Amino acid sequence: MTNTIYDDGASASPARAKLGAKVRAKLSRNPMVTRIANPKLEIFGRAHFATPQECAAMRAMIDAGAEPSALFSGSSGSEYRSSYSCHLDAHDPLVIGLTNRIVALTGLDPTTGETIQGQRYTQGQEYRLHCDYFGITASYWPRMRAQGGQRCWTAMMYLSDVEEGGETQFAQCGFMIPPREGMILIWNNLRPDGSPNPDSLHAALPVVKGTKYVLTKWFRERPWTPGS
């Protein structure tokens, strides 16, 4: 039996580049979507993607299932990521409907999408500078490569306004985006050639006053298969 061979995840990739061009073109054609002008990052936003009622229902789901967030490596990392998070029920009708709308908006293959994760940040909580793509020197990379490969696109939606703080900061690009209930952000974690883009590094800045709720859905380069 021959093992499947994939690229290393860090090099330019015609397949990932083609995927990026497809999503970029679809988002750019949508009059409801705005591209945030920046030469270092492909990032798009759409206001009022979810209704206040949908946002309230999803906040309740997060409150019901939230546990202290862990870093992807599995360590607790409380000094680095101090939020609460949970994976939402993929069979819930509201989650299904939201997933279908994200897929329709982006044109991404639904089979490449990971389970939607909900996050809650209260006063002082944050997630320091990090990337959504996988570093190929990390211990988990061989497993991630087998389960769908690189994370190419991120879709993140704010479920609440925040009285003060809680912005999503793209430090390498020189801008940050404040939370606005119902707004979705979509960005490419890769360069146009399909290699990881270090300028996609971002942080959830500390909440100063209020509570921040977000949903995040990541999309891989190939169909995603969850681990055991």
pLDDT given at position 228: 46
Domain boundaries, the chain: 15-70+79-212
Whether 32 and 104 have beta carbons less than 8 Å apart is answered as: no
Query: What is the pLDDT averaged over residues 25-48?
Result: 98
**Which of the pair, 69 or 106, is modelled with greater confidence?**
106
Closest CA to 168 of 151, 150, 152, 187: 187
CATH of span 15-70+79-212? 2.60.120.620
Q: Extract the tokens encoding 130.
A: 């990090």
H or E segment and range at residue 214:
strand 212-220
DSSP for 187-206 reads EESB-TTSSB-GGG-EEEPP
Q: Provide the 8-state DSSP code for 134.
A: P
**Which of the pair, 69 or 227, is modelled with greater confidence?**
69
Query: What is the pLDDT averaged over residues 15-31?
Result: 98
Residue 66 has pLDDT above 80, yes or no: yes
Residue 104 has pLDDT above 90, yes or no: yes
Q: Could you give the CA distance from residue 151 to residue 133 in angstroms, rounded to a whole number?
A: 5
Q: Could you give the CA distance from residue 141 to residue 143 in angstroms, rounded to a whole number?
A: 5
Over the stretch 188-199, which tens digit does the pLDDT of each residue have? 999 999 999 999
H or E segment and range at residue 151:
strand 151-158
Q: Could you give the CA distance from residue 6 to residue 143 in angstroms, rounded to a whole number?
A: 12
Strands in 175-177's sheet, in edge-to-edge order, are 127-130, 202-204, 168-170, 175-177
| Residue with the two structure tokens 């993929």 | 90
Q: Could you give the CA distance from residue 191 to residue 69 in angstroms, rounded to a whole number?
A: 28
pLDDT given at position 73: 54
Q: Extract the tokens encoding 193.
A: 């050639």
Average pLDDT over the chain reads: 93
H or E segment and range at residue 86:
strand 84-87
